[in-house]
Amino acid sequence: MKEIDLLVNELNKKYKTEIIRKASDLKSVEFIPYTSPQLNYITRGGVPVGRMIEFVGLPQSGKTTTALDVLANFQQKYPDRFAVYLDAENTLDRGWGEVLGVDWERVILIQPECEYGEDLLDMLLDYIRTGKIGFVVLDSAPFITPKGVAEKGLEEKSYGGNSALMKAFCDKVVPLCKKFECTFLILNQLRENIGNPYKPFKIPCGTALTHACSEILWFTKGALLDEKYKEVSGNFNAPVGNLVSVKMEKNKVTRNDRRLGTYTLNYVQGVDAVKDTLDLGLVLGILVQTGAWYKLTNSAGKEIKLQGFTGVQEFYNKNPAELEYLKEKVYQSII
């Protein structure tokens, strides 16, 4: 082992770097957790630190809400680091972010007026290089307009969009995120893939972005929910929330044996972690359903039977210590 250490030290000294090391020194991946245990389950821990990941989906699919949820959890885990939010669409809702737990005092907000995409992305790179930024959100990629496109008239056609610009940006930002342990979350839209019935949607901004991301999560708006969290039709006039379906489209962080999940979005309180904990407890067998009855084991090891899912929810709402015990059991099964 001394010989390999000598080889490593010699080359690091020759090239004046510290990037060469034994593979056994490779660090394990850290995660920023989602509030929903369902998302933590399919990702095996949450959003990987120091990587670029992408949320894609149609309008109102839950991308921005999930991004704000991760931002709030980043702030809880890393209270000494700051975040940058590039609101390229100029649609950020401060109040909704506060509901989800975001502390806007610790977020640097960029809301462009007529700046070129090159300048906006350079701003992000400069912030990351300071080493004080631990989380960046770009909302969203298609609104980053290169100078060459912005200066054309409406009647002039442009080809390639911002693909070349995003390629150049990815080449720079990925190693910077690794160096400074900064997590970069990019939101993207979906476009109709006309003429392809087998793949009706495609992700814009070029394939370089797809290759650069360690994870790509595909979001879809699910069923609406009434006040008792029962699924209702799209014509229901007073929903309290909806389900958000998530598909792991790409994963280079953990095993690929978990690809589909759903979490509950409440329009008043945000992500409903309690309901999602109970739902995942059923999936993992921690809670057992037999007909209309549910069986669980409390923190004292006693078996309890409850009637109906509403009864289970009431039990845990009235017994926060038992809820924390259930959350811990669920969390141990996530990894």
Q: Which residues pair with 35 in a beta bridge?
A: none
Local confidence band at 72 (pLDDT 50, 70, 90 cut-offs): very high
pLDDT value of position 273: 92
195 or 137, greater pLDDT: 137
Name the domain boundary from 234, 254, 271: 271
Give whole-number Cα distances, 310 to 163, 198, 209, 314, in Å. 49, 40, 44, 6
- Average pLDDT, integer, range 253-276: 94
Residues 163 and 229 in one domain: yes
Q: Do 36 and 171 have their domain in common?
A: yes
β-strands 107-110, 82-87 pairing: parallel
Percent of the chain having pLDDT more than 70? 99
The answer to whether residue 97 is domain-embedded is: yes
Per-residue pLDDT for 87 more than 80?
Answer: yes
| Confidence (pLDDT) at 211 | 96
Which phi and psi (to 5°) does residue 110 adopt? -115, 115
Long-range contacts of 9-13 (CB under 8 A, 24+ apart): none
Does 4 reside within a domain? no
For residue 189, CA distances in Å to 102, 202, 220, 271, 325 come to 23, 9, 11, 22, 39
For residues 323 and 210, membership in a common domain is answered with no
Contact by Cβ (8 Å): 214, 52: yes
Q: What percentage of the chain carries pLDDT values higher than 90?
A: 83
204 in any annotated domain:
yes
Whether residue 78 is found in the same domain as residue 198: yes
Q: In sequence order, what are the beta bridge partners of 220?
A: 245
Closest CA to 55 of 122, 139, 143, 146: 139
Q: Tell me how far apart the alpha carbons of residues 181 and 168 are, in angstroms, rounded to a whole number.
A: 20
CA distance 242 to 22: 48
pLDDT score for 304: 93
Q: Indicate if the pLDDT at residue 325 is higher than 70.
A: yes
CATH number, domain of 311, equals 3.30.250.10
Q: What is the mean pLDDT of the chain?
A: 94
The answer on 232 and 184 residing in a single domain is yes
67 and 100 part of one domain = yes
Task: Tell me how many degrees the CA angle 222-274-331 measures, rounded to the nearest 5.
Answer: 100
Q: Could you tell me the CATH number of the domain that includes residue 60? A: 3.40.50.300
The answer to whether residues 227 and 114 belong to one domain is: yes
Instruction: Tell me if 5 is assigned to some domain.
Output: no
Q: How confident is the model at residue 1 (pLDDT cuts 50, 70, 90)?
A: low
Per-residue model confidence (pLDDT) at position 195: 84
Of 271, 291, 319, the residue that ends a domain is: 271
Number of compact structural domains in the chain: 2
Residues 90 and 146 grouped into a single domain? yes
| Of the candidate ranges 194-198, 255-259, 263-267, 295-299, the one whose mean pLDDT is the lowest | 194-198
pLDDT in tens, 37-59: 999 999 999 999 999 999 999 99
22 in a domain, yes or no?
no
- Rounded to whole angstroms, the Cα distance separating 185 from 143 reads 15
Q: Domain boundary at 227, 250, 271, which?
A: 271
Q: How far is CA 46 from CA 40, 64, 72, in A?
A: 5, 16, 13
Q: Lowest mean pLDDT: which of 43-57, 65-79, 153-167, 255-269?
A: 153-167
- Cα–Cα nearest to 164, from 131, 105, 205: 205
Whether residues 257 and 284 share a domain: the answer is no
Q: Answer yes or no: do 263 and 296 share one domain.
A: no
Residue 162: alpha-carbon gap to chain centroid: 23
The pTM assigned to this predicted structure is 0.93
Look up the domain containing 243 and give its range: 28-271
Given a cut of 70, whether residue 12 has pLDDT beyond it is: yes
Q: Does residue 223 sit in the same domain as residue 79?
A: yes
Q: Is residue 20 part of a domain?
A: no
In a domain, 219, yes or no: yes
Q: Is residue 148 part of a domain?
A: yes
Q: Are residues 306 and 213 in the same domain?
A: no
